[in-house]
Amino acid sequence: MVNRIIWRVKQAVYGLLNATKPEERSCPICGYHGLFDPFGFPVRPESQCPKCKSLERHRELALWLDIGENKRRFSGKSLLHFAPEKAVEQLLRPLAGTYVTADITPGRAERVINIENIDLPDNSMGVVVCSHVLEHVDDAKALRELHRILADDGFALLMVPMVHHWENSFERPAPTVEERIKYFGQFDHIRRYGRDFVERVKQAGFAIETYSPTPEECIEYGLGLGSVMYIAEPQKG
């Protein structure tokens, strides 16, 4: 433990000594313009809006909402948001007919729901938001459950951490906590996704679209370069 703390202090000092000059960014969620804060471990510089606390993936979703008729797609629909983030909630709650937050841990959301075994009827939800959740769980079970509860005209917004130049996701059978940290960078992650994520979603019965911000948007809004959001709809027929 002591060695780990010393290592983290060394990394922080090294980061400060070698940091480049920060650039001002804009937040499409709250309108803030200025310097962004670092976030995460390992630290991602200029990743969090200091005003609304949004992260890269939250601002990416905000940009997608402003494209064409995307906001209208939520109108009158029941929306289920797993592991809710405040920045996303303030964007989507006003758009949906009903908005319900869910988490497996009591006290973190309005409902306690296991995404691998969702206690909701078939075809009962119009939208599901699932951002950086699937890497924590049995994603085959979770995706099948999302497909089951979505109405025929519904859709799911899916975001996962991904290594885009990997063809296949990287997993280890029944990893210990130490192995999860070593291999996946976080104690509660069980995989790192590769490009086969798309096939995993399709195998659950979804058709899938993708959205990626432009390079200019990534720079302006402090987004992850090459990041992708997936829009999954129940396959017709």
Q: What is the mean pLDDT of the chain?
A: 92
**Cα(142)–Cα(139) distance, rounded to whole angstroms?**
5
13 within some domain: no
**Least trusted range by pLDDT, from 1-5, 124-128, 232-236:** 1-5
**Cα(87)–Cα(221) distance, rounded to whole angstroms?**
14
**Which of the four pLDDT bands, split at 50, 70 and 90, describes residue 237?**
low
Residue 168 has pLDDT above 90, yes or no: yes
* Domain CATH code at residue 195: 3.40.50.150
Residue 212 has pLDDT above 70, yes or no: yes
**Which of the four pLDDT bands, split at 50, 70 and 90, describes residue 12?**
low
At 85 the pLDDT is 94
At 200 the pLDDT is 97
Q: What is the pLDDT of residues 61-95, one digit of tens each?
A: 999 999 999 999 999 999 999 999 999 999 999 99
At 4 the pLDDT is 67
Integer CA distances (angstroms), 68 to 10, 129, 167, in order: 47, 19, 31
221 within some domain: yes
83 within some domain: yes
Taking the model in full, what pTM does it have?
0.89
Residue 18 has pLDDT above 90, yes or no: no
Residues spanned by the domain of 75:
54-234
Residue with tokens 């975001």: 159
110 within some domain: yes
162 within some domain: yes
212 within some domain: yes
Q: Count up the domains in the chain and report the number.
A: 1
**Cα(28)–Cα(58) distance, rounded to whole angstroms?**
9
93 within some domain: yes
**Which of the four pLDDT bands, split at 50, 70 and 90, describes residue 50?**
very high
Residue 155 has pLDDT above 90, yes or no: yes
- Tell me the mean pLDDT in the region 174-180: 85
- Tell me the mean pLDDT in the region 198-213: 97
At 174 the pLDDT is 80
- Answer for the pair 64, 57: CB distance below 8 angstroms, yes or no: no
Q: What is the pLDDT of residues 105-144, one digit of tens each?
A: 999 999 999 999 999 999 999 999 999 999 999 999 999 9
Task: Tell me the DSSP string of 81-116.
Answer: EES--HHHHHHHTTTSSEEEEEESSTTSSSEE-BTT
At 224 the pLDDT is 87
28 within some domain: no
Query: Could you tell me how far CA 89 lies from the centroid of its own chain?
Result: 13
